[in-house]
Chains A and B, each alone.
Chain A
Amino acid sequence: MMDNTHKQSISIERIPLEEASRGIRLFKEGLIKYLLVFCSLVSIFTTVGIILVLAFETIEFFKVVPLREFLLDTEWTPLFYEKHFGIWPLLLGTVLTSAIAIVVALPFGIFAAIYLSEFASERVRKIVKPALELLAGVPTVIYGYFALLIVTPFLQNVIPNLSGFNSISPGIVMGIMIIPLISSLSEDAIYAVPQGLREGAYALGGRKLPTIFRVVIPTASSGIVAAVTLAISRALGETMIVTIAAGQQPRFTLDPRVPIETMTAFIVQVGLGDAPTGTLEYKTLFVVGSMLFLMTFVMNMWSQRLKGRFQQEI
């Protein structure tokens, strides 16, 4: 008797094989699908739009200024009465500040990554890694004024003839800014190296340091290079720090002590409003923009490929 009632109370209805509200379900599913497609297309269309605008204005620019002048002239003075359109001063400014940044960030970033993944205890790692990543979250305008008002005066005590605007100070600060990018991504790569490989090396009688430098780091190398490439791309495109602290004087030089101008800083300078739409000055914005886009795009693509290769290897 008890058993019977119990059975009744949990008996589940037979499921009919014909779906009752098929139309509504299909409509809902379709709607959601198109919503998702739309969201993913927005960013693709934006990118394509940017590329088209850049390409169009760049072509317009080269109708007026010959490519030869753009590539061979060593002066960049589009806002002066006597105009020169040689890209080299801006390109050198960008390359110089980025190179200084990488020279600073590479050793610190990679050694921090090695420490975190191979030496730090799990507890230290859990505290230090997010703390490092916080560095990347500091607004770049703050870094910019830090470079101009603190690092430059300090460096002036050390380096004679250091101008108030220069490339070494923003370069160093930019390097500090990208340390977390390198250390965090490299740490991910090093940490992802299977424990079995470390044990394999220990089982051969390897000590810790040879194991790290001959087995672990080489295995993680493509992931580390991907991280560094991404960091370079970030440095090339960095705007605020160099605009504030590097000066705005396009100069054909690799001297880190004098004021220069980077491509990004030039775009800010013109974009702030002196150039009327449609003029040649206005078009220079897009030429420089295309150059910058091309450089960072190639870097990012390369980084992606390396990252893919790293994941394949592991």
Chain B
Amino acid sequence: MESRFILETKCKRGYKYIEIASEGISGNFNLFKAGKVEEQRLSSRKTKFRTEGLSAWFGSHQALNNISMKILKNEVNAIIGPSGCGKSTFIRCLNRMHEVVPGARVYGHVYLDEKDLYEDGIDPVLLRRRVGMVFQKPNPFPSMNIRENVLSGLKLTHRLKKDEADEIVESALQQAALWDEVKERLNKPGTSLSGGQQQRLCIARSLAVNPEVLLMDEPCSALDPVATVRIEDLLHKLKEQYTIVIVTHSMSQAARVSDQTAFLLMGELIEVEQTNNLFTHPRDKRTEDYITGKFG
């Protein structure tokens, strides 16, 4: 029984194929040879978030159990795992969106730049202005046009300076690789765009408030493959300026876009590793089973 599957990874230099055999993963997978530049970047890795014994509940259901890990600065951090493993809950703890849901509780610590986010006196609303979030389902505000959608975060927080508005709209849409497609119709409703464009509009909206981190909760799962590629390409650019945490149920997506991957299973952190290593030399049997498609 030789079950094989191929992960197609798209890197800056082109396409690479990783073959993973479910049996006998030895050491023969040095296809990911990091270049000199890459190595330098790796050696200067900095931590953006650090969680310590993080547990989370919905009512009596425990969604996360004692998770301690690091989210690396200016990298794409992927969280993978089967449905219901707690990956969305995990990133929602990073901007304290978890507690918006009635009956939700958190125990443990999350440090952003070594500042405990669950300390008394931390205002979750102010935290969310530094840690942006993009959701699974594109959710542009239907009552606003494209331009107003981009500016909505600044308007909601009363920080919009009128004379800077045009500049902010253009730069945010440029960063989200949407400007060229919508610059002629900024007054059209945000909901008139296609699904992929709507999602990039939501990314632009998050970037407009100038966050440090962008949390993405399965941002491509409602999109077609072409729109997915556009967003994945975008991530490579965005990580130069922002720290990105992306939740995905697609292992190939994690392999394509991320630098570090964490595997969650039933609320527990099974393994967190450099993406290349996790997919080629999983240390845990459960990780191996998952990435080779034995379950999930």
B129: chain A residues within 8 A (beta carbon): 204-205
Please measure, in the bound complex, the distance between the C-alpha atom of A113 and the C-alpha atom of B119, giving whole angstroms: 35
B133: chain A residues within 8 A (beta carbon): 203
Please measure, in the bound complex, the distance between the C-alpha atom of A214 and the C-alpha atom of B142, giving whole angstroms: 11
In the complex, the chain B residue whose C-beta lies closest to that of A221 is B143
Please measure, in the bound complex, the distance between the C-alpha atom of A215 and the C-alpha atom of B126, giving whole angstroms: 19
Q: Pick the contact of A201: B132, B152, B191 (CB < 8 A).
A: B152
- Contact, CB under 8 Å: A215 / B157: no
Please measure, in the bound complex, the distance between the C-alpha atom of A204 and the C-alpha atom of B142, giving whole angstroms: 16
**Number of cross-chain contacts by CB at 8 Å:** 78
- Cβ of B128 < 8 Å from any Cβ of A? yes
Please measure, in the bound complex, the distance between the C-alpha atom of A214 and the C-alpha atom of B144, giving whole angstroms: 10
Contact with B along A214-236 (1 / 0, CB 8 A): 11001101000000000000000
- Contact, CB under 8 Å: B141 / A199: no
- Contact, CB under 8 Å: A206 / B125: yes
Please measure, in the bound complex, the distance between the C-alpha atom of A205 and the C-alpha atom of B156, giving whole angstroms: 8
Contact with B along A188-211 (1 / 0, CB 8 A): 000000101101111111110011
Chain B residues with a Cβ closer than 8 Å to the other chain, count: 27
> A199-B100, A211-B156 are contacts. A204–B143 as well, Cβ < 8 Å?
no
Looking at the assembled complex, report how far the CB atom of A140 sits from the nearest CB atom of chain B, in whole angstroms: 36
- Cβ of B221 < 8 Å from any Cβ of A? no
- Contact, CB under 8 Å: B156 / A201: yes
- Contact, CB under 8 Å: B125 / A200: no
In the complex, the chain B residue whose C-beta lies closest to that of A122 is B102
- Cβ of A159 < 8 Å from any Cβ of B? no
- Contact, CB under 8 Å: B128 / A202: yes
B206: chain A residues within 8 A (beta carbon): 203-204
In the complex, the chain B residue whose C-beta lies closest to that of A198 is B100
Looking at the assembled complex, report how far the CB atom of B77 sits from the nearest CB atom of chain A, in whole angstroms: 18
- Cβ of B135 < 8 Å from any Cβ of A? yes
- Contact, CB under 8 Å: A202 / B100: yes
> A203-B95, A204-B206, A219-B143 are contacts. A196–B153 as well, Cβ < 8 Å?
no
A201: chain B residues within 8 A (beta carbon): 141, 152, 156
The 8 A-B pairs at the shortest CB distance, nearest first, are namely A205-B129, A204-B153, A206-B156, A218-B143, A203-B133, A196-B139, A205-B128, A200-B139
Q: List 6 A-B contacts (CB under 8 A).
A: A197-B142, A199-B100, A200-B202, A202-B128, A204-B128, A205-B126
* 5 further A-B pairs in the complex, CB-CB below 8 A; given A200-B202, A206-B156, A215-B141: A197-B141, A199-B139, A204-B209, A205-B157, A205-B209
